[in-house]
Structure 1
Amino acid sequence: MTDPRSSAADATRAPMAPQDPASGRNGLYILHDAAIEATARPDGTFAQEIYLDGQRLIDKARYAGGGLDEAILENLRSFDGFRRMVHRIGISVHAHGNEKSTVFFTIHNRGKSGRFESGTRLRFPCPADGSESLLTLEDYDWSPDDEVPGKFAFEFERAGVLATANIIFYLHDGYPVPESIPEPPVDFGSESYRRMIEKSLLNKGNNKRLKTAIEKAKRGEPVTIAYIGGSITQGAGAVPLSANCYAYRSYDLFKRWFVPSGGDSVRFIKAGVGGTPSELGIVRYERDVLRDGTVEPDIVIVEFAVNDADDETKGSCYESLVLKALAGGNKPAVILLFSVFMNDWNLQDRLAPIGWHYQLPMVSVKDAVVEQFRLSKADGNVISKRQFFYDIYHPTNAGHKIMSDCLGWLFEVTDRSAADGEDLPTDKPPLIGNGYVGTRLLDRMNADGIARIHPGGFQETDAELQMAELDDHSYGTPLFPHNWMHTAESGNPSFKMTIRSRRLILVFKDSGSHDFGTANIWVDGQLKRTADPHQVNWTHCHAVLLYDEEDVREHTIEIAMAEGNEDKRFTILGFGYVP
Structure 2
Amino acid sequence: MRGPAAPKDPEKARPYFYIIKEKDIFGSRQEDGTGIQFIYENDGRLINSAQIVGNITDEKILKLLGTVDGFAELVHSIGISVETDDPNDSVNFIFQMYGKKDLYGGGTNLKAEVTCDGMEHKIYLADEKWTKDDDVPGQIKVVFQTPEQMGKLSVRFYLNDGYDAPPEIKDEAVDAGSEAYCEMISHSLMNLGNTYRIRKAIEKSRAGKEVTLAYIGGSITQGAGATPINTECYAYKSYQLFQKRFAVLDNVKFIKAGVGGTPSELGMIRFDRDVLRNGEKPDIVVIEFAVNDEGDETKGNCYESLVRKVLNLPWKPAVVLLFSVFANDWNLQERLRPVGERYDLPMVSIMDAVTPQFTKKKEEGKVLSKNQFFYDMFHPDNIGHTIMADCLQYLFERCEAAEHARLDTFTKGMTEEEILEQQLFEGTAIGADFEQVKLLDKRDIYAHANIVEGGFVWTDTKLQSVEMDTDLTLTPEFPYNWMYDGTKSKENWFEMTIRCRSLLLVFKDSGEVNVGKAKVYVDGDYCLTADPHINNWQHCNAVILFVEKERKEHKIRIEIAEENLEKQFTILGFGFVE
What TM-score, normalized by structure 2, do the two folds share? 0.93
Tell me how far apart the structure 2 counterparts of residues 376 and 556 of structure 1 sit (CA, whole Å).
62
Over residues 289-345 of structure 1, what are the superposed CA-to-partner deviations in whole Å (9 max), with x where a residue is unaligned?
1115x1001000011111111111221111111111112232111111111111111
Q: Report the equivalent of 2:545.
A: 546
Q: Report the equivalent of 1:11.
A: none
Larger deviation, residues 122-131 vs 226-235 = 122-131
Over residues 332-361 of structure 1, what are the superposed CA-to-partner deviations in whole Å (9 max), with x where a residue is unaligned?
111111111111111111111111111111
Say which of 426, 430, 443 aligns to 2:441: 443
Tell me how far apart the structure 2 counterparts of residues 429 and 565 of structure 1 sit (CA, whole Å).
46
Q: CA deviation at 1:189?
A: 0.8
Larger deviation, residues 70-79 vs 301-310 = 70-79
Tell whether 2:222 aligns with 1:234.
yes
Tell me how far apart the structure 2 counterparts of residues 519 and 21 of structure 1 sit (CA, whole Å).
58
Q: CA deviation at 1:140?
A: 2.6
Say which of 63, 69, 82 aligns to 2:71: 82
Taking the TM superposition and a 5 Å limit, the aligned residue runs for 1:422-501 are 422-423=416-417, 424-425=420-421, 426-447=424-445, 449-489=447-487, 490-501=489-500
Tell me how far apart the structure 2 counterparts of residues 56 and 416 of structure 1 sit (CA, whole Å).
41
Tell whether 2:502 aligns with 1:503.
yes
Q: CA deviation at 1:82?
A: 1.6
Q: CA deviation at 1:147?
A: 2.0
Tell me how far apart the structure 1 counterparts of residues 136 and 330 of structure 2 sit (CA, whole Å).
27
- SS of the equivalent of 2:231 reads helix
Larger deviation, residues 63-72 vs 391-400 = 63-72
Q: Report the equivalent of 2:142.
A: 154
Q: CA deviation at 1:35?
A: 0.8
Larger deviation, residues 417-426 vs 236-245 = 417-426
Q: CA deviation at 1:563?
A: 2.5
Query: Are the equivalent residues in 2 in contact too, given 1:491–1:566 (CA < 8 A)?
Result: no
Q: Report the equivalent of 2:526.
A: 527
Q: Report the equivalent of 2:408.
A: none
- SS of the equivalent of 1:187 reads coil
Over residues 246-284 of structure 1, what are the superposed CA-to-partner deviations in whole Å (9 max), with x where a residue is unaligned?
111110000000111xx3210000111111111101100
Listed as ranges, the gaps of 5+ residues in structure 1 are 1-19
Tell me how far apart the structure 2 counterparts of residues 386 and 563 of structure 1 sit (CA, whole Å).
48
Query: Are the equivalent residues in 1 in contact too, given 2:485–2:568 (CA < 8 A)?
Result: yes
Query: Are the equivalent residues in 2 in contact too, given 1:242–1:474 (CA < 8 A)?
Result: yes
Say which of 244, 251, 255 aligns to 2:239: 251
User: Percent identity, aligned pairs only?
Assistant: 50
Tell me how far apart the structure 1 counterparts of residues 317 and 133 of structure 2 sit (CA, whole Å).
55
Larger deviation, residues 427-436 vs 529-538 = 427-436
Counterparts in 2 of 1:21 and 1:491: CA distance versus 1, 3 Å: farther
- SS of the equivalent of 2:564 reads coil
Q: CA deviation at 1:44?
A: 5.6
Q: CA deviation at 1:465?
A: 0.5
Q: CA deviation at 1:112?
A: 2.8
Tell me how far apart the structure 1 counterparts of residues 463 and 18 of structure 2 sit (CA, whole Å).
33
Tell me how far apart the structure 1 counterparts of residues 317 and 100 of structure 2 sit (CA, whole Å).
51
Tell whether 2:39 aligns with 1:53.
no
Tell me how far apart the structure 2 counterparts of residues 153 and 342 of structure 1 sit (CA, whole Å).
22
User: Match for 2:268: what amino acid?
Assistant: I
Taking the TM superposition and a 5 Å limit, the aligned residue runs for 1:4-15 are none
Over residues 418-442 of structure 1, what are the superposed CA-to-partner deviations in whole Å (9 max), with x where a residue is unaligned?
2244312332211221221111111
Tell me how far apart the structure 2 counterparts of residues 358 and 51 of structure 1 sit (CA, whole Å).
38
Tell whether 2:554 aligns with 1:562.
no
Say which of 171, 175, 178 aligns to 1:190: 178
Taking the TM superposition and a 5 Å limit, the aligned residue runs for 1:119-518 are 119-260=107-248, 263-291=249-277, 294-420=279-405, 421-423=415-417, 424-425=420-421, 426-447=424-445, 449-489=447-487, 490-518=489-517
Q: CA deviation at 1:376?
A: 1.4
Q: How many residues align?
A: 556
Q: CA deviation at 1:456?
A: 1.0
Tell me how far apart the structure 1 counterparts of residues 87 and 245 of structure 2 sit (CA, whole Å).
34
Over residues 61-81 of structure 1, what are the superposed CA-to-partner deviations in whole Å (9 max), with x where a residue is unaligned?
121111342222222122122
User: Match for 1:231: what amino acid?
Assistant: S
Query: Are the equivalent residues in 1 in contact too, given 2:503–2:545 (CA < 8 A)?
Result: yes
Tell me how far apart the structure 1 counterparts of residues 58 and 186 of structure 2 sit (CA, whole Å).
38
Query: Are the equivalent residues in 1 in contact too, given 2:495–2:556 (CA < 8 A)?
Result: yes
Counterparts in 2 of 1:42 and 1:494: CA distance versus 1, 3 Å: farther
- SS of the equivalent of 1:534 reads coil
Tell me how far apart the structure 1 counterparts of residues 266 and 134 of structure 2 sit (CA, whole Å).
35
Q: Report the equivalent of 1:93.
A: 82
Query: Are the equivalent residues in 1 in contact too, given 2:497–2:556 (CA < 8 A)?
Result: yes
Over residues 404-424 of structure 1, what are the superposed CA-to-partner deviations in whole Å (9 max), with x where a residue is unaligned?
111111111111222244312
Tell me how far apart the structure 2 counterparts of residues 158 and 502 of structure 1 sit (CA, whole Å).
52
Counterparts in 2 of 1:110 and 1:536: CA distance versus 1, 3 Å: same
User: Match for 1:570: what amino acid?
Assistant: F
User: Match for 1:313: what amino acid?
Assistant: T
Query: Are the equivalent residues in 2 in contact too, given 1:456–1:493 (CA < 8 A)?
Result: yes
Q: CA deviation at 1:223?
A: 0.1
Tell me how far apart the structure 1 counterparts of residues 95 and 294 of structure 2 sit (CA, whole Å).
32
Tell me how far apart the structure 2 counterparts of residues 408 and 562 of structure 1 sit (CA, whole Å).
51
Q: CA deviation at 1:565?
A: 1.0
Q: CA deviation at 1:101?
A: 4.1
Q: Report the equivalent of 1:106.
A: 94
Counterparts in 2 of 1:59 and 1:422: CA distance versus 1, 3 Å: closer
Tell me how far apart the structure 1 counterparts of residues 331 and 72 of structure 2 sit (CA, whole Å).
36
Tell me how far apart the structure 1 counterparts of residues 100 and 357 of structure 2 sit (CA, whole Å).
43
Q: Report the equivalent of 2:412.
A: none
- SS of the equivalent of 2:454 reads coil
- SS of the equivalent of 2:123 reads strand
Larger deviation, residues 468-477 vs 269-278 = 468-477
Tell me how far apart the structure 1 counterparts of residues 87 and 160 of structure 2 sit (CA, whole Å).
35
Tell me how far apart the structure 2 counterparts of residues 283 and 234 of structure 1 sit (CA, whole Å).
17
User: Match for 1:156: what amino acid?
Assistant: F
RMSD across aligned positions (CA): 1.7
Query: Are the equivalent residues in 1 in contact too, given 2:76–2:160 (CA < 8 A)?
Result: yes
Q: Report the equivalent of 1:3.
A: none
- SS of the equivalent of 1:564 reads helix
What TM-score, normalized by structure 1, do the two folds share? 0.93
- SS of the equivalent of 1:130 reads coil
Q: CA deviation at 1:21?
A: 7.4
Tell me how far apart the structure 1 counterparts of residues 105 and 531 of structure 2 sit (CA, whole Å).
19
User: Match for 1:230: what amino acid?
Assistant: G
